[in-house]
Amino acid sequence: MKRTIAALLCGAALMLPALPPPAQATTRLATLSVRGADVSSLPKSEAFGGSWYDAWGNRRDALTILRDSGVNMIRLKVWVNPADGYNNKSRVLTMARRVKALGMGLLVDFHYSDAWADPGKQYKPAAWTSYSFTRLRQAVYDHTYDVLNGLRSQGTAADMVQVGNEISGGMLWEDGRSSNWANLSQLLISGTSAVRNVFPSAKIILHLPDGGDNGLYRWWFDNATSRGVPFDVIGFSYYPVWHGTLAAFRTNINDITARYRKPALVVETAYPFTAGNDDFLTNVVGGNEPFPGYPATPTGQTNLLRAVKDVVAAVPNGRGLGVIWWEPTWTAVRGSGWDPADPNSGNAWENQALFDFNDRALPALAELGR
């Protein structure tokens, strides 16, 4: 049961003709330095009885399966005060200990909200709604510092930190909308300052959706750089069903990395392995071939991931860092739904996991770690 993020992953983009499936390619590009997985839902799924099996049918710890498949970076989101008590500071600290014990890197993704923050909603945490803008800036700094300092205190350093999640429209609405860059830049600088003060060597990521939209990325990062917002890595969401063709994605990532002389990381991507459904909630991506040339099958999922990896690996000057699959372990576990305020909510994402409906690792997991 993955998240019903029909709201999170909004409206399908108009698509140009797709590139041929990568299975037609005869050569493979270099191994990416970041081969990651966002497993933010995992603790809740475990608490409600989820199980995961490797490709040979052995039941094992999900993180260990990922690590042994070649995954080397784990991404965890942080909410401020979520209704269900998951994805908050204490849960992230617990997960960070597991991640580091397995020798994997840690990417912390700050949403600055009590629930999903994405292009369609960037709502303040309830406790911050009455704050003046000055106090709001301080709250961003304090919250970011507090979570990261907790990680430092227990010896589980963050290797990468996202200040905001899919913030094309800004964050902490209404104060921080991207229509008010004077405010947005100050909020971002507050967050990045906290990162630098706790983990000076951590890579700061600024993350946008719509990985095929070159105009969006140019407009947004022109504004960020002109106002002195510091960052080390440009974060992309690229979901092919919504975010344009592979050709558009390639054009954008190549242009943006050259324009700002920064490396790029796909911090979110995913694709279905089936058109089927494993719970009561309709999948957010359905259909037998939701992206032209790539059927919703285990092979189609693997080929799509390979195509995305190859685009990133081919970014000039070695500026393509890697790819992170969004929620590969979010299988259909009743109770581990998308809405933190509704324990009966389901998961509209389970057909995009990297474990099948029998909870067994799919071929795309091996491709992710390769």
Please choose, from the candidates 266, 351, 252, 247, the residue with its C-alpha nearest in 3D space to the C-alpha of residue 305: 266
Cα–Cα separations (whole angstroms), residue 81 to 78, 128, 199, 296, 347: 9, 11, 23, 36, 21
Any catalytic annotation for residue 350? Answer: no
Q: What backbone torsions phi and psi does residue 52 show, to the nearest 5 degrees? A: -140, 140
CA angle 355, 270, 235 (to 5 degrees): 130
Tell me the C-alpha distance between 74 and 267, whole Å.
10
Tell me the C-alpha distance between 236 and 202, whole Å.
18
Q: What backbone torsions phi and psi does residue 95 show, to the nearest 5 degrees? A: -65, -35
Selected catalytic residue, list 268, 327, 350, 367: 268
DSSP, collapsed to helix, strand or coil, labels residue 37 as strand
Any catalytic annotation for residue 166? Answer: yes
Rg of the chain over CA atoms, in angstroms?
19
Please choose, from the candidates 65, 41, 27, 7, the residue with its C-alpha nearest in 3D space to the C-alpha of residue 369: 65
Strand partners, 291: 294
128, 170 Cβ separation under 8 angstroms: no
Tell me the C-alpha distance between 236 and 9, whole Å.
13
Cα distance between the two ends of the chain: 26
Selected catalytic residue, list 46, 166, 174, 289: 166
The 3 state secondary structure assigned to 223-246 is HHHHCCCCCCEEEEECCHHHHCCH
315, 323 Cβ separation under 8 angstroms: no
Q: Which residues are catalytic?
A: 166, 268
